[in-house]
Structure 1
Amino acid sequence: MEQHPVPQNISSFQFKLIGDITLKQFAYVAGGVILAYIFTKFAFFPWIIRMPLAVITALLGFGLAFVPIEERPMDRWLAAFFKSVYLPTQYVWRKSNPVPEALRDLGATPSPTTTPNPAAVAPQVVPVNLPIIPPLPQPKVKPAPLISKPVEATKVVNVPPEVVPRFIPPTPVKNKMPANWNLGAPPKFNTSKPVAPPTPPITSTRVPVQTTTTTESMQLTKLKTSYQVLEQRLTTQMQAMQEELAKGNVTKERFLELQQTVSQLLNEKERMSNELVQLRKQLSVNPQAQGQVVRPTTYAQPPPSTQVKVIPANMAVRVGIPQLTSYPNTMSGIIKDGDGNTLPNILVTVKDKDQVPVRALKTNKLGQFAASTPLANGTYIIEAEDPKKVFSFQRVEVVLTGKALSPLEVSAISHKDEMRQKLSQEIFGQKTI
């Protein structure tokens, strides 16, 4: 087993003067030689004293430079010696800071360590001065005298043995509740849904014109009132759903609940619409009652779609689209959302008529995309995709004929708009009255 090397000081650096002699060692040797030379030239001391001093100083300089003691230089030992001699070796402690009053009282009378009794620890009761009432005198009760009676002799009677069963059935306990106790009937809850007042059926019997007009006018009044109430409910429900969809925190359970509510309102609206259509057909002969037919004011809205605009070169800079490229058959453009904000990091794929991708692009921070090389003449399809799945795009078909293509402006469709349009179609439908 090899011995571990002794750690050495590698952090300090000493300048070498000649060979392995450092500047410090050279100073010690030179100082010793100079002092020895001075002692030899002193005329104040005799020769016997000067020579030993010169030899001692020369040896001391050589020892300080080249003679280590226990792997430490001699100057370190001399410095440690004088430091230990002149430093004090006995220390006396004197109390300087006073003891606080709380600690002084605590140290003077130490309290015995006792376990607190939970029953004894109770809130202090404020004494109340009450008048002292003397106790009432109680009558003394004399004990009854003891009367001794003679004990009669017991007789032994032969009783036949009785068999006791192992299990004794419990005796039924009668209901001690009085018969005339009025418990009352259980409460009944009205779980029926509110339904619009039914419309009397329209008969085809011939009656006088005066009676028909009056009856149908009453029916139209009731239908108009019911339809206004239903329309107000639909408007309120639609506004609430649009607010929730705008916030973007609609859960799946909440969406199913809204869809169920919408289906119920749709059924009610469908029934009311059919009745209005029938009354309109019947009142087409009578123009006086025809003016009372209520027409719905909501029509089907067109579904959202991706808008694509081809911007001329002279107007591209005005709308914020620079002329990205001027080469023929080179595609370029910008992608925005419904509010006109540019969409960065949108993947744009250009496919040919065989659905083979020929270019793969990505919009920059300004929502711009541009191809660096031209394509061959033909029909191509541009597909855009949002990696975050927030916006959706429809496919755009472009025909290249060897000419410079103007930049395209593509508007995206948000999923909130799609969901809002879907709910609107479910509520109001596509047909009008």
Structure 2
Amino acid sequence: MPVQQHPIPQNVTSYQFRLVGDMTLKQFLQLAAGIVIGLVIYATPLPSFFKWPLISIIVGLGAAIAFVPVQGRPLDQWIVAFIRSIYAPTIYVWQKPNNQQPSLNQAPTSITQALQSSPPTSPSPTATQPQTSKIERPNLVPQIHTLTRATPPTPNPTPPPQPEPLIPTSQDIKKSAKNVFASPPKPIAVTPQSHQNTNHQSTQSSSKPAPTTSTATVSDTPAQPGTSASFSTDLPIPSTPQTPNTIVGMTLSPQGKILESVIVEILKNGQTIRATKSNKLGQFLFAKPLDDGIFQITADKDGFTFPRFDLKLDGQIIPPIKLQATGTK
């Protein structure tokens, strides 16, 4: 079914019939009235110096009323509004009316007159009030006392004693140390053969230099060196970094497939300074550039093992890094 074009609705109440072009019937009558009044003035025996200016004013006024609007309103509305404003009052004075309401002028009828005018009535018998018996409330206090005495108090169950943890105190440690040091050392029997062996060992030890003992603790030992990071410009990275020391890369499986949601960490001196996770395409990015130095890169994902990669930064643009797993767990 084709869509039909509906006519644009128009305001029927304010419709005006048009004679020629945009000139309405009202405008035609206003212009004709000015011309007719001008012809009437022309037919009067008035002097020409007074007649012609008056004719031009009347005809021009009729044309202005018909065709010249002022601020969107016809000139005849301005003339009518001007005449109304001249004769309309501008000051309003309020005066209190003197007439009062008739209900306020009536005098109130007294109650004594109405009582006197009413006929006497026979005295009505007094209504006997019903006698109400008092309801006494029983005293329940003795019963409550007896109930409280009869019910024995429920004993609160005490929790079972918990065994104290066997933690050695400082006094026990001191006593054990005293016992250890108080025990005398056992004598060792020295034979001539063992004496010769000890002399032979002492000569060999004096000929060899004594090894240096390391006193460094476990926390001071450097981290185990990892494999050097592998760079690849063939990785599908959307945009390579343009600022130095900015790290981007991709995480891959041992078969070279994309691995997503791999946690990538950057460590320096054994402490994690940056961490991120690869997206669904296996891509990761550290937007903030790093300082110059030696860093370690670790990757972690359930079911896969990654080696630790070493990276040295010296203020140059770094190509994308390939983090490939070495096996599965």
What is the TM-score normalised by the length of structure 1?
Answer: 0.23
Which of the two has higher C-alpha Rg? 2
Greater share of strand: 2
Greater share of helix: 1
